[in-house]
Amino acid sequence: MGDSTLEAINRFYDLVDKGVATVDHAFNRGKDLADKQHARRAKREVIDAEASEAPPKAPKASAPSTAAVIHKPRFYIAESIVSGSTIFVVTDGGNARTECSTREFAEKILRALEVAS
């Protein structure tokens, strides 16, 4: 067989491979998307319940503001694993935090804090 025959066979198989890849992509597009979404949901934020480091403070403004702004703290629940057991931490992301052993109790505290603030 000559070089032109081998080149023709290679082009034919390249065309077949490209067609198979296109069909595979079309049929598995939903599965690939579901796998990506599952991987994104599987990431969980775990906080260290032993950390006591304060968050960095924002720089102070040089000129005082004439408008009064009331900043309402936003509390949320974060799950944390400590010594193999799960605790639920109600926090505002700063120094305010409390640890709860059940999610129901953490939700009660969260509702109370939202009503009080």
Which residues have CB under 8 Å from 110's CB, separation 6+? 75, 76, 77, 90
As a whole number of Å, the end-to-end CA separation of the chain is: 85
Is 12 domain-assigned?
yes
Q: In the prediction, which pLDDT does 83 show?
A: 85
Is 49 domain-assigned?
no
Q: Which domain holds residue 36?
A: 3-42
SS3 (DSSP) at 86: strand
Is 96 domain-assigned?
yes
Is 63 domain-assigned?
no
Domain tally, the chain: 2
SS3 (DSSP) at 29: helix
pLDDT in tens, 15-31: 888 888 787 777 776 67
Is 19 domain-assigned?
yes
Separation CA 97–CA 54 (nearest Å)? 12
Output the pTM of the full model.
Answer: 0.38
Is 111 domain-assigned?
yes
Separation CA 41–CA 54 (nearest Å)? 29
Is 86 domain-assigned?
yes
CB 90 within 8 A of CB 110: yes
Q: In the prediction, which pLDDT does 62 show?
A: 62
As to burial, measured by CB atoms within 10 angstroms (0-12 exposed, 13-18 middle, 19+ buried), residue 78 is middle
The mean of the pLDDT values for the chain is 75
Q: In the prediction, which pLDDT does 21 show?
A: 79
Is 20 domain-assigned?
yes
pLDDT in tens, 85-115: 888 888 887 777 888 889 899 889 888 888 8
